Copies of this chain bind each other. A is one copy, B any other.
Amino acid sequence: MKRAVVLLSGGMDSAVTLALARRQGFACHALSLAYGQRHASELQAAARVAAMLGAVEHKIVDVDLRGIGGSALTADIEVPPHDRAHPADEIPATYVPARNTIMLSLALGWAEVLGADGIWCGVNAVDYSGYPDCRPAFVDAFERLANVATRAGTQGHRLHVHAPLMRMSKADIVREGVALGLDFSATVSCYRADAEGRACGRCDACALRARGFADANVPDPTRYA
């Protein structure tokens, strides 16, 4: 059985990604990053999702990004409420510097240890928050790096980085998850979720998620505070 390392945040996108990797028959090793984020309830959601979708195992790697700072998610900056007038070309305060690069690097290390065929991540360039590390050019550059950085890559065992949601709208992602039988109530997307995983309903992540369910005509199972 082929192995995959799947980055799992606890949010809806990575849950759908894991379900897709499972459907393709991969033995899935789920990886979450504890980076001093405020929304620690996402990690509990990640553990629920990993178990629910039959991941072989779920690892949480601690990386204290607070020392590096620079984001509303890791430093003492207020998470801004969602603003529909927010210019599309501006990168918001919740952007964690190099977060996806760091997460994929850790996934790469584990993939190499496992002899995995690929890394799966839920990055998405359509309904995303304007982060530079959520675009096809980023994923392509990382895959290229992965294949010169590792023993596997240099020995001809090509490693693939899959981002199956890249060109899907949030509504598409909701529909895909429903088709896969995914229980979205297990997922937490909110940047300011409380200790029970209840969403604030006001941040960017909440707004994108709610619009996804509305656009897909699927009842929103999100628990709000």
Residues of A participating in the B interface, judged by any CB pair closer than 8 Å: 59-65, 67-70, 91, 95-102, 104-106, 108-110, 112-113, 132-133, 135, 137-138, 141-142, 144-146, 148-151, 153-154
Q: Which residue of B lies closest to A75 (CB)?
A: B113
Residues of B within 8 A of A98 (CB): 105-106, 108-109, 112, 149-150
Is there an interface contact between A62 and B59, defined as CB atoms closer than 8 Å?
A: no
How many copies altogether? 2
Q: Pick 15 A–B contacts, CB within 8 A, sort by A.
A: A61-B64, A62-B64, A69-B113, A70-B113, A91-B151, A97-B150, A98-B109, A101-B109, A132-B149, A132-B153, A133-B148, A138-B148, A138-B149, A141-B145, A142-B149
Residues of B within 8 A of A62 (CB): 62-64
Contact among B64, B141, B154 with A148 in the assembled complex (CB-CB below 8 Å): B141
* Closest A-B pairs by Cβ, 9 of them: A70-B113, A98-B109, A97-B109, A97-B112, A141-B145, A98-B108, A102-B105, A105-B105, A101-B105
Is there an interface contact between B95 and A102, defined as CB atoms closer than 8 Å?
A: no
A110-B97 contact, Cβ under 8 Å, with A141-B145, A148-B138: yes
Is there an interface contact between B108 and A97, defined as CB atoms closer than 8 Å?
A: yes
Alpha-carbon separation in the docked complex, A214 to B106 (Å): 38
